[in-house]
Structure 1
Amino acid sequence: MWIISVAAAIIVILIIYILSLRRALKGLSSLVEEKQNNQSNLQLTNQSSHKSLDPLIKDYNKLFNEIQSSKQAIKRDQAYLDQTLHNVSHDIRTPLTISKGYVQQLRKSQPDDPYLEKIDTNLTSISQRLEDLLLYQDLLENQVKIDGQAINLSDLVKRKLMTYYDAFVEADFQVDLDIADQLYIQADAQQTERILDNLLGNVLQHGHKTMAIFLGSLADQVYLQVQNQSKQAIRNLAQLTHRFYSEDLSGSEKTSGLGLYIVQELMDKNHGYLELDYDDTLFSVNLVWPSFNSDDSSKNN
C-alpha cells in the first residue's frame, strides 16, 4: 500500500514540476516576444526557480546580442556608404559642369561634329544621373523643403511637353494628349517640374512607339496619367519605385534606378500619391493630387 502512496506522491510532484516549468517557459516566451517587439537592449533573466533554464536564456541573450551587433554594423556601413556617395557626387559635380561648358563652346564653332554631339549627350546623361543622386541624398537626409504654392498644372504640363517636343519627334513617338485646362494644385513648383521631367525622361528612355498623357479632375482630386508602350515585359512592377532598382526596359542603357523612386518621394512630400500599372505592354504612371481652387490661388497671388 505504501508503494502506491509513494508513487502517487511522485506523480503529484512531477505534475506540479511540469506545470511550474510550463509556466516558466511561457513567461520566458513572453519576455522574448516583448524584447523582439520593443527592440530592447535589456538582457533576459531567469525569473523562475528553474535553474535548468539558465543555459537556454544564456543562448537567447547571445543570439540577441549577435543580431544587435549585426544591425549596428549594417547601419554604420549604410551611413558610410551614404556619406561616400554624397562626397563623390559633390566632387564630380564641378568638373562635370566645367567639362560640359567646354564642350558646348566647342560645338558653337563645330556644330556638325558628331563626336562632340555624342560627348555632349553623354555628359548631359551623366549630369542628370548625378542630380538624381544629389536629390536622393537630400531626400535621405530629409533636407528637401516644401514651398507650397498654387500651380496651374495644365499650363505646366503643356510647357514641359513643348521642351520635350523635339526629343519625342526624333524618337518617332506617336503622342496622344488629353489635357484639361485650368487645373490647379498646391505643391512645390520646382519639385513638380522635377516630377514631370522624370516621367517624360522615363518615357524617352524606356518607352516605345506611343505615349499618351491624360490630365483631368474628379471630385476634389487632380489626376495625371502618363502612359507608354514598353519594348520588354516588366518583371517586377512594384519594385520600380524602390531606390536603385531598374529594369532595362529599353534593352540598351542602364539607369540609376532612382527616377520613379524620386517621383514617389516628391509626391508623398507634396500630399499626392503615385500608382503604377502595366497591362499588355502598356506601362502607366498615375499621379493624384488634392485639387486647389483657382479662385483661392488668385486671391493668394
Structure 2
Amino acid sequence: MIPLAIILVILLAVLTYFLLIMMDIRTLITQLKFINQHTTNQQLKVKTRNAAVVALTQQINQLIAKQQATHQQSVQTQQQLDLAIHNISHDLRTPLTVASGYSQLLLSNENLPEAEHQQVSKLNQNLQTLSKHLNLLLLYNRLLENRITITPKQLNLSKLLTQTCLNYYDALQRKQIMTDLKIEPNIMWQLDEEATTRILQNILGNILDHGYQKATIRLKHIDQGVQLTATNQLMTPIKNFDRLLDRFYTEDLSHRDQNAGLGLYIIAELSRMQGGQVSLNTNDLQFRIQVIFKIANQQKNG
C-alpha cells in the first residue's frame, strides 16, 4: 500500500504542474489582449519549459504572423487603390472638360441636323454623368487625404436647402419625381457652407438617381438641434441595406442610371466631421435618410 506521504507529494506535484500551466496561459492571454487592442508586430513570449505550452505558443505566433502579413498586404493594396483613384481622377479632369466644351458648342449650333443633335445631346448627358462621378471621386480623395477643412459659421440652412432643391427641380421633373418640400424657415446653424452644400447635393442626387415618382424633404428644429429628412419611393426594394454606407457600393434601384457608390458615404463623412449623425431606413419600396445636428455634438466636435 502506497504511503499517504507519497500520495500527497504526487498530488502536490500535479497541482504545481497545473498551476504553472495556468500561469503560462494567463501570461499568453495578457499578451494576446494587448496584441488585439494595439497595432503591433509583437508576438507571444513564454518562459516556461513545458513542451505543450511552447508548442501552443509557436502555433499561435504563426497564426499572428499570417494575420499581420495579410493586414499589411491589405493596407498596401488600399494605398495603391487610393493613389490610382487620385491619379485617374486628376488625369481625366482636363480631357473631360474639353469634351464637355465641344459638346456644348455643337449643341449651340442651330444648323446641326436633328439626328446629330440627338446624338450629341446623349453624348453631353453621358459627359455630365461622368463629370458628376469624377467630382465625387475627387471629393472622396480629399476626404482620404484629410484635405477638407471644416470652418463653421452661422448658416441659414433653410435657405441653402431651398436653393439646392431649386437647382435640382428641372432634373427631378424630367425624371417625373414629384418632390414635396416641408422646410421650416430661417433655421440657423453653425455649419461649414461648402461641406453642407455637398451633403445637400448628394441627398438630392441620391433621390435623382434612385427615386421613383415621389419624394419628400423635411427640415425642422428638434430638441437642441435640427433634423433633415429625405424620403423617396423606390422602383425595387433594396437588397443589401447594411452596405449602403460602404464606399463604392451601389444598387441600381431605378433601372436608369449607374452611379459611383460614393454619395451616401460622403454624406455620412461630411456630416460626421461637423458633429452630425446620419441614419438610413428602408421599408419595402421606400428609402429614408436622416441627418441630425445637435448642439452637444457640435461642441464635442469643436
TM-score, normalization: structure 1? 0.89
Distance 1:24 1:271, change over 3 A: closer
Aligned ranges for residues 83-102 of structure 1 at < 5 Å?
A: 83-102=83-102
Matches for 1:68-217 after TM superposition, within 5 Å: 68-110=68-110, 113-217=117-221
Q: Which residue of 1 aligns with 2:274?
A: 270
Q: Which residue of 2 aligns with 1:253?
A: 257
2:20 aligned with 1:20: yes
How many residues are paired up? 291
| Aligned-partner SS, 2:239 | coil
Distance 1:44 1:183, change over 3 A: same
* Bigger Cα displacement from structure 2, 179-188 vs 30-39: 30-39
Q: Is the 8 A contact 1:238 1:276 kept in 2?
A: no
Q: Which has the higher contact order (CA 8 A, sep 6+)?
A: 1
Structure 2: segments with no counterpart, 5+ residues: 296-302
Return the alpha-carbon distance in structure 1 between the equivalents of residues 154 and 286 of structure 2: 32
SS in 1 for 2:244: helix
Report matched runs for 1:223-262 at 5 Å: 223-262=227-266
- The one-character-per-residue Cα deviations of 1:189-248 (angstroms, maximum 9, x if unpaired) are 122221111111111111111011112112331222111111111123332122111111
One-letter amino acid matched to 1:139: L
- Is the contact made by 2:48 and 2:54 (CA closer than 8 Å) also made in structure 1? no
CA drift at 1:7: 5.1
Which residue identity is paired with 1:205? D
Check conservation: 1:185, 1:290, Cα contact below 8 A.
Answer: no
Task: Identify unmatched segments of 5+ residues in structure 1.
Answer: 292-301
Check the 8 A contact 1:198/1:259 in 2, yes or no.
yes
TM, length-normalised to structure 2:
0.89
- Identity rate, percent: 33
279-288 vs 192-201, which deviates more? 279-288
User: Which residue of structure 2 aligns with residue 296 of structure 1?
Assistant: none
Q: Which amino acid aligns with 1:78?
A: Q
- Deviations 1:86-137, CA, capped at 9 Å, x for gaps: 1011001110011101111111114751111111100000000011011111
Name whichever of 26-35 and 144-153 sits farther off: 26-35
Q: RMSD between aligned alpha carbons?
A: 2.1
